[in-house]
Structure 1
Amino acid sequence: MTGDPSIDREAFKQFERDGFSRVAQGYDGAIAQVTSQVNEAILDAVETRAGTRLLDVACGTGWLSAAALKRQAIVIGLDYAENMVAIGRSRFPQVEFRVGDAENLPFEPNEFDAVVCNLGILHFPEPEKAIAQSLRVLKSGGHYAFTCWTPPARNPFMALILGAVQTYGIINVDLPPGPPLFRFGEPEECKNILTASGFVSVSLRELPITWTFSRPQDIVPTIIASSARLGPMLAMQTQEQRHDIENAIIEGAKKYAINGVIQIPASVVLAVGCKP
């Protein structure tokens, strides 16, 4: 699954960069808190401890970088969305943050003991390049880990959102096409790409995540304010489609009410490899 000619890589990359810069504040207040639920599992997987030189690729606003810093790791966070990096720098001044491209890392070979990427790989036009770059900058014996959302069949949150859009709206709105959203939600695909890239001792596991909302009516506005791709997909529906999608999501979310709070389960695949 390489070299898809239907993907304009630069257009996709620019869309993602602009989108995440636009929603950086909303992302930091919503999605970053959700995805940080797996931070400790990621850091454990790459054996993060005091003195570990760790690179956090697609670091967003720096939640995983900050978690590594608490373990006294030596951390660099890198993201290509400038506003994300700016928030990371202001919130976690002890971490070194840089603006940069995951597919062309600005580091020398063998610089890091660990490279991590939490839910970034689905935002790269050429994930094979990003993984090859991570291998290049790792020391021998170093570990690389990435996560990706599981597909709707195993992910109730994604099933709720995308199911409502498929039923009442249009999935294929006019956005720059990119790699399949759930490609790396399949463990076998993760194993294949890591092995083909040169990693050994590949391991895979699924981790739970919970999306929490005060009210079901908050779900769609939160996604629009914090997501670079799902948000525009929802925002680009017609007024009637948007109304029907929101109603379907609100009704579907009610069954996840626990003690007056909406708690919708989701999951990610955690893929880990070691550089020989």
Structure 2
Amino acid sequence: MNNTDAFEKMEHDGWADPQIAQGYADGFDFAARLAAKQMADAVEAGPGVGVLDLCTGHGVVAVELLNRKATVTGLDFSPAMIALAQKSAPGATFVQGDAMAMTFPDDGFDAVTIGFGVPHFPDTGQGLREAARVLKPGGRIAFSIWRGKGSSGAFGWLFDAVERLGDPSVTLPAGPDAHMMADIAIAEPILTRSGFSGVKGTGIASQLLVSAPEALFDAFDKGAVRAASLLGGQSSERRDAIRADLAQRVRSDGRETQGGFLVPAPSVVISAMCS
């Protein structure tokens, strides 16, 4: 396995930045809400259900879980994200910690949700095994993943634009593929080895809401650590070209609405049961 130290440093430094944390909340909240509803359905959130929301971010999943009267504990390694989550979901308990080595006891939760956080695990299997450890037998897990390269939407457009217009020498540190778990053929065996069964995948027609066509570039540049690293390493000329390319895709394939443009950003919710 590749050494992931540089990847972990990039992730921790990036998400600890209050500007990146706020940028994610501003740019991706609209899209994350629909996935949050699907995750809450998948884990059967409701009164008396204790849910651990891993990689809780700015609290969008925690809010949905609270709306269903679940008891919510949110965990994130970023103090900047915890601060945002405490404001948006004051009824939950938030803990700063490492999803790869949690201090929670075994069999402590009825359900685990992970809103777009699995790609941030430096070791996907280890993170999922930790989730299985803290789940009660028969407990449920649900996590969301953006569809990536080749998809018809914002993330696919970004990969395409960077590949065609970006500097190929600008690369990311070795780490897990950000979108591989959107493929149930890949997700199912990893989950099975990690202690889960009954794996299901549900496609979500999620959308980003951006204020203007050019703002899609800013959503990635200011609110997504990996994308910001790729875009930040480009020359100003290449950045402008990528921005213009993304803006054109928004104009042609997005939908203008009150307050901005709706941009397709398809995602998948993967769910399973703890064996």
- TM-score class normalised by the smaller sequence: over 0.9
Q: Can you list the C-alpha shifts for 1:63-103, whole angstroms capped at 9, x where unaligned? A: 10121111111110000111101111233222100111111
**1:191–1:204 Cα contact (<8 Å) kept:** no
**Within 1, Cα distance between the matches of 2:175 and 2:253?**
31
Q: Secondary structure at the match of 1:153?
A: coil
**1:149–1:182 Cα contact (<8 Å) kept:** yes
Q: Secondary structure at the match of 2:198?
A: strand
Q: Compute the RMSD of aligned alpha carbons.
A: 1.6
What's the CA shift for 1:171? 5.3
**Within 2, Cα distance between the matches of 1:184 and 1:111?**
25
Q: In the alignment, what sits opposite 1:105?
A: 102
Q: Secondary structure at the match of 1:27?
A: helix
Is 2:137 the partner of 1:140? yes
Is 2:252 the partner of 1:255? yes
What is the TM-score with the length of structure 2 in the denominator?
0.93
Give the one of 5, 11, 25 matched to 2:6. 11
Q: Can you list the C-alpha shifts for 1:138-183, whole angstroms capped at 9, x where unaligned? A: 0011101112112332342112111111111135525322111221
Of 259-268 and 138-147, deviating more is 259-268
AA in 1 matched with 2:239: R
Q: Secondary structure at the match of 1:48?
A: coil
Give the one of 111, 116, 119 matched to 2:116. 119
1:170-185 matches, cutoff 5 A: 170=167, 173-185=170-182
Q: Secondary structure at the match of 1:39?
A: helix
AA in 2 matched with 1:237: Q
What's the CA shift for 1:128? 0.5
Is 2:15 the partner of 1:20? yes
**2:145–2:179 Cα contact (<8 Å) kept:** yes
Q: Can you list the C-alpha shifts for 1:232-274, whole angstroms capped at 9, x where unaligned? A: 2112101121121112112222102434542221212211111
> CA, structure 1 residues 172+204, in 2 after alignment: closer, same or farther (shift >3 Å)?
farther
Q: Secondary structure at the match of 2:271?
A: strand
Q: In the alignment, what sits opposite 1:242?
A: 239
> CA, structure 1 residues 35+221, in 2 after alignment: closer, same or farther (shift >3 Å)?
same
**Within 1, Cα distance between the matches of 2:219 and 2:239?**
14
Gaps of 5+ in 1: none
1:66-81 matches, cutoff 5 A: 66-81=63-78
Give the one of 191, 194, 203 matched to 2:191. 194
**1:58–1:79 Cα contact (<8 Å) kept:** yes
What's the CA shift for 1:14? 2.2
Q: Secondary structure at the match of 1:270?
A: strand
% identical aligned pairs: 28
AA in 1 matched with 2:10: F
Q: Secondary structure at the match of 1:72?
A: coil
**Within 2, Cα distance between the matches of 1:154 and 1:223?**
16
**1:76–1:95 Cα contact (<8 Å) kept:** yes
**2:58–2:81 Cα contact (<8 Å) kept:** yes
Of 57-66 and 246-255, deviating more is 246-255
**Within 1, Cα distance between the matches of 2:169 and 2:123?**
21
Give the one of 207, 210, 213 matched to 1:210. 207
Q: In the alignment, what sits opposite 1:271?
A: 270
Is 2:35 the partner of 1:38? yes
AA in 2 matched with 1:205: T
AA in 2 matched with 1:67: E
**1:103–1:127 Cα contact (<8 Å) kept:** no
> CA, structure 1 residues 172+270, in 2 after alignment: closer, same or farther (shift >3 Å)?
farther
Gaps of 5+ in 2: none
Question: Which 4+ residue blocks in structure 1 deviate beyond 4 angstroms?
Answer: none
> CA, structure 1 residues 56+172, in 2 after alignment: closer, same or farther (shift >3 Å)?
farther
